[in-house]
Amino acid sequence: MTTATTETPAVEQGATWLVRVGRLGYAAKGLVYIVVGFLAVEAALGKGGGTTDTQGALRVIGDAPFGKILLFIVGIGLLGYAGWRLISALVDGERRGDEPTSIMLRIGEALRGLAYGSLGVWTMRYLAQGYAESTDHARATTRRALEFPAGRWLVFAVGLGIMGYALYQLYRAATRKFLKRLDLSSASGTTRTLIERVGWFGIAARAIVFGMIGLLIARAGWYFNPSEAGGIEKSLDKLAAHQYVFPTVAAGLIAFGILQLATARYRIMRAK
């Protein structure tokens, strides 16, 4: 009994700090997507810029005035976000339950944490070495998967799965389900309306980007050609061929970044 009483405050304090760095992670995600979207908007308007991915956005942040300091904070945030996602998935901090569908959602949260954790590690390596190789993870992973037995169909199925995820995100945007995890009770009516409108626009735009990523990966499996696959940058390159879609999606990525900043402030977060 004495041991449990002694450890409880430490556990609670650790959970509190994990949530705090998790919130910093949402802010870091927001900044990265704002940079990606801003560069794409500039490209769409013919004012420079260009399509890039999250690693490219981090390079741009690092090159800005005081960029190295900001990049360090972003890296800590991404690692904190990863830690919160992983622990939250393990202990069911989101209170999803133990049903098969809930467990799949928790696994998805853990995988998302790992993805952003690897981006945080890349950020720290870039800061420490002044250079870190950019990798199109979608293409590299596709190339390895195609070497497996029945890898072609595995890659094709993954592409379809990502497209399905994109459709679900469009559903979340249309039904405003993304508001479920936000506590906007302390926000003004104007702020709530702004978050709702920016949120559905941003989530829908990101869904289009991920839908294109899924299509590219599915094509890579169908044609047994890893060069067909690609991540955010290649997805935006493909969308750039569409005169009106591209600038709309680019602006939507900025909106998604703003939503992440709002999420850092208002999301209901638990780590235990």
Q: Which residue has the higher pLDDT, 168 or 66?
A: 168
For 247, other C-beta atoms within 10 Å of its C-beta total: 17
Taking the C-alpha atoms of 151, 118, 177 and 192 in order, what is their torsion angle to the nearest 10 degrees?
-160
Report, as an integer, the average pLDDT of 152-181.
94
Residue type, 126: Y
Q: pLDDT at position 14, please?
A: 60
Residue 165 burial by Cβ neighbours in a 10 Å radius (0-12, 13-18, 19+): middle
- What residue ranges do the domains of the chain occupy? 2-266
Q: pLDDT at position 192, please?
A: 95
Residue partners of 237: CB distance under 8 A and separation at least 6: 51, 230
Report, as an integer, the average pLDDT of 45-63.
85
Q: In Å, what is the CA distance from 68 to each residue of 22, 49, 133, 143, 234?
A: 21, 21, 17, 33, 27
Q: pLDDT at position 8, please?
A: 57
